[in-house]
């Protein structure tokens, strides 16, 4: 069985953008494929500590897992949830791959360049995390890793490291993940979903944006979220049209409406096309978002910490077994075992 692997950092609470653009598509993909694929969902907590954590990391980790469950993730014997830091093989293989990767290729990573820019003393983790990410993937022979475009370079790095390792030892020790072009095809999206900042719709909604009214958080009170939608920036054109360049604010509202009500975007666009009262659209989207949050938060409240720990115990037993077996192969190749 082929493996699909995915994770989301839990450094802070998540936004509606994270939910609609990353969490929900992943849950749908997992539910759709869980009888033909192995699905690994993990919390990359070792990746969390390369930057600041907002709040209590432990609590954030458990909450992230609850988000997946509240979003409708269906569990069966092919779906596993685990925490990266509870599988020591990730760090071990990271070191081995460090000795396979070159400074040249690792220094070229755009994420590293961006994240280290302007930082007087950048920690080594920021530089090294693509290698840890390669270990996250290669330990499980994962072929499909649904990710945003910003991570494509890291997939290519992972592929190169796997091929180099296999070539060096003349054995197919690691499964090479499919190319990013094939990843995109597998995800079934032509271009990714990008929810916009409510106040500055030319930008995407980001959890690290300081302005509260720019973003909707998954734990916002539904009435508060509705108010944020009502105060979203639009434009002075006065006609509702889906045009991300010309009318990003209005287009963002149409996109949100489609996603939270699970309606095809084309239908939502057709319903509102040519109408002139922005207030009516805002009111409808505000209602839809607050309804979605009410349901989501009620689901979230039903999931106990005990349930999460139970699932983690199972998932980590599985993950340690698979990862340790792969690590041993890599250690043997080098003569470490």
Residues involved in catalysis: 115, 204, 207
Residue indicated by tokens 């043997």: 332
171 vs 189 by CB, closer to ligand ATP = 189
3-state DSSP assignment of residue 54: coil
10 vs 247 by CB, closer to ligand ATP = 10
Stretch that binds ligand ATP, among 34-42, 108-116, 159-167, 199-207 (CB under 6 A): 199-207
215: alpha, beta or left, given left = phi > 0 and alpha = psi -120 to 50? beta
Round to whole Å and give the CA distance between 107 and 123.
14
| Residue 317: CB minimum distance to ligand ATP, A | 27
Cβ proximity of 333 and 171 under 8 Å: yes
Round to whole Å and give the CA distance between 313 and 81.
9
Stretch that binds ligand ATP, among 93-101, 205-213, 229-237, 288-296 (CB under 6 A): 205-213
* Helices 57-70/278-302 angle, 10° precision: 110
23 vs 101 by CB, closer to ligand ATP = 23
Among 57, 193, 265, 269, binds ligand ATP (CB under 6 A): 193
| Residue 141: CB minimum distance to ligand ATP, A | 22
* Helix ranges restricted to H, the chain: 16-18, 24-33, 45-48, 57-70, 89-98, 103-107, 110-116, 124-138, 152-169, 180-187, 222-230, 248-261, 265-272, 278-302, 305-334
- Give residues 68-97 in contact with ligand ATP (rule: CB under 6 A): none
101 vs 288 by CB, closer to ligand ATP = 288
Among 31, 206, 297, 320, binds ligand ATP (CB under 6 A): 206
Tell me which residue has its CB nearest to ligand ATP: 21
Q: DSSP letter at 21?
A: I
Neighbours of 276 (CB within 10 A): 10
Cβ proximity of 296 and 258 under 8 Å: no
Among 28, 33, 115, 207, binds ligand ATP (CB under 6 A): 207
- Give residues 8-37 in contact with ligand ATP (rule: CB under 6 A): 8-9, 15, 17-18, 21-22
| Residue 286: CB minimum distance to ligand ATP, A | 18
Round to whole Å and give the CA distance between 243 and 252.
9
- The count of residues interacting with ligand ATP (CB under 6 A) is 16
- Give residues 146-185 in contact with ligand ATP (rule: CB under 6 A): 148
Cβ proximity of 209 and 228 under 8 Å: no
| Residue 15: CB minimum distance to ligand ATP, A | 5
Nearest 5°: CA angle at 264, between 151 and 183?
Answer: 25
| Residue 18: CB minimum distance to ligand ATP, A | 4
Among 204, 241, 283, 284, binds ligand ATP (CB under 6 A): 204
| Residue 133: CB minimum distance to ligand ATP, A | 13
- Which residues form the interface with ligand ATP (CB under 6 A)? 8-9, 15, 17-18, 21-22, 148, 193-195, 204-208
């Amino acid at each position: 069985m082929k493996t699909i692997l995915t994770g989301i950092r839990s450094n802070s609470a998540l936004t509606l953008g994270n939910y609609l653009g990353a969490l929900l598509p992943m849950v749908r993909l997992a539910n759709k494929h869980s009888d033909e694929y192995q699905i690994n969902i993990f919390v990359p907590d070792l990746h969390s500590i390369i930057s600041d954590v907002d709040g209590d990391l432990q609590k954030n980790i458990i909450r992230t897992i609850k988000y997946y469950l509240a979003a409708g993730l269906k569990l069966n014997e092919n779906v596993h949830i685990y925490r990266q830091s509870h599988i020591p093989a990730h760090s071990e293989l990271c070191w081995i791959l460090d000795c396979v990767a070159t400074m040249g290729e690792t220094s070229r990573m755009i994420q590293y360049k961006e994240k280290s820019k302007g930082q007087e003393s950048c920690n080594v983790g920021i530089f090294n995390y693509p290698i840890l990410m390669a270990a996250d993937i290669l330990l499980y022979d994962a072929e499909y890793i649904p990710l945003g475009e910003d991570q494509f370079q890291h997939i290519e790095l992972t592929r190169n490291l796997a091929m180099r390792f296999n070539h060096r030892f003349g054995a197919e020790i690691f499964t090479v993940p499919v190319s990013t072009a094939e990843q995109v095809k597998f995800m079934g999206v032509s271009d990714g979903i990008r929810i916009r900042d409510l106040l500055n719709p030319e930008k995407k909604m980001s959890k690290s944006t300081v302005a509260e009214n720019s973003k909707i958080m998954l734990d916002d009170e539904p009435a508060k979220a509705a108010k944020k939608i009502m105060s979203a920036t639009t434009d002075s054109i006065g006609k509702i049209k889906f045009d991300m360049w010309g009318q990003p604010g209005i287009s963002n509202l149409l996109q949100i409406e489609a996603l939270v009500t699970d309606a095809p975007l084309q239908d939502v666009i057709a319903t509102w096309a040519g109408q002139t009262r922005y207030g009516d659209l805002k009111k409808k989207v505000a209602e839809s978002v607050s309804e979605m949050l009410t349901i989501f938060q009620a689901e979230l409240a039903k999931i106990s910490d005990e349930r999460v720990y139970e699932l983690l115990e199972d998932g980590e037993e599985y993950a340690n077994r698979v990862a340790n077996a792969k690590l041993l192969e890599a250690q043997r190749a080098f003569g470490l075992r």
